[in-house]
Structure 1
Amino acid sequence: MNRRYLPRRARCGECGTTHILLPAVSAARRADHAEVIADAVELSAVEGLGFRKIAVKLDRPESTVRGWLRDFRTNAPAIAAAFAARVHRATAESLGFWPAPAITEKTNAWAMLMAHAQVLSHQYRWVAQPVVTVPWQYAALFAHGPWFFSRAGWPEQVQHQPALPRQGYTGEGGVHVSFPHSSGGTVPYFPHRKELFR
């Protein structure tokens, strides 16, 4: 899509702020249409092309394409997890749509997006017969919103560390970490001995 599009603006009646109105198939804060960004992601994830070759093929600046691919690669684990949950919840026959594991995270994420689009096509086949095809980028935008292709649209990685720092000290016997005990006191833990002392 090499045609120009000028989005409309509207003023909010409550706060008086001007907002840009994007069609549902557009990506927020991106100058290019979602189809162009999706083509770049596919060329990278499926065909393994680098950003320079993709930029030439799509007639876009290298820095722009590099940014798209970097954002998708950064968001790939969150994308795969979110859309795996959607595929799993969507239908009892979800195993039939489940993709095979891939080598890279970005390819896994792209495959899960394709599975999500196939599930949607399968679910709505009775409404619009005989065949319904949902492009993966539209399925992703409708499911996640206009921030799908943006780094800001995905939360930070899941925190696997304790929420609060553990209290303790480093001494001769190793790291002393205190755990609450039912007696009201604490139980020290010495990792190098792999045992608890009361």
Structure 2
Amino acid sequence: RIGIIYMIMGLWGGILGLSLSFLIRLNFADPYYNLISPEVYNYVITSHGLAMIFFFLMPVIVGGFGNFLLPLLLGMPDLSLPRLNALSAWLMLPSVVCFGISLSIGSGVGWTFYPPLSSFPYSGVGVDYLMFSLHLAGLSSVLGSLNFITTIFSSIFFFINTRVSIIVWAYLFTSFLLLFSLPVLAAAITMLLFDRNF
């Protein structure tokens, strides 16, 4: 099932984020000795935040649990659009690969990976790989949100039963919020990407 693939990718993202978190805490262990250089520390912080949000929370909570819980709570055999669901899951793999490439090169300065700050110490393609990775992760989330909304609204149980589980309502509202917010984020990242390169 696609939910298991989401869980495996989320587990990988969680291990990556946890290792980056340990690296940050090891750097704080001795205030007089820096384990890693300040530049490396800056993009470790950036990558840690993005890994935990886009590659751990989103695949596990939305993709993984949503694929198992939502059809079960609505009394349906599967989500309404299984091919869209599969496309959403498999877009995570190139997104994670691009994220790993950006992590190995250097993905930004501090909490911001936006230009012009990010172009000073890292003039290479690390930031571009990171932005492309976020585009793919955002597209995957939008496709998953469309699938969840379609599944909930196509369920007869949702309209007949007045005692629908709160989890179904939570997935519905979260899917609408993702659907409205992620294109704005993608447009902002696209403008920053063009501002960096042109």
- Using structure 2 for the length normalisation, give the TM-score: 0.25
Q: Which has a greater percent of strand?
A: 1
Higher relative contact order (CA 8 A, sep 6+): 2
Q: Which has a greater percent of helix?
A: 2
- Using structure 1 for the length normalisation, give the TM-score: 0.25
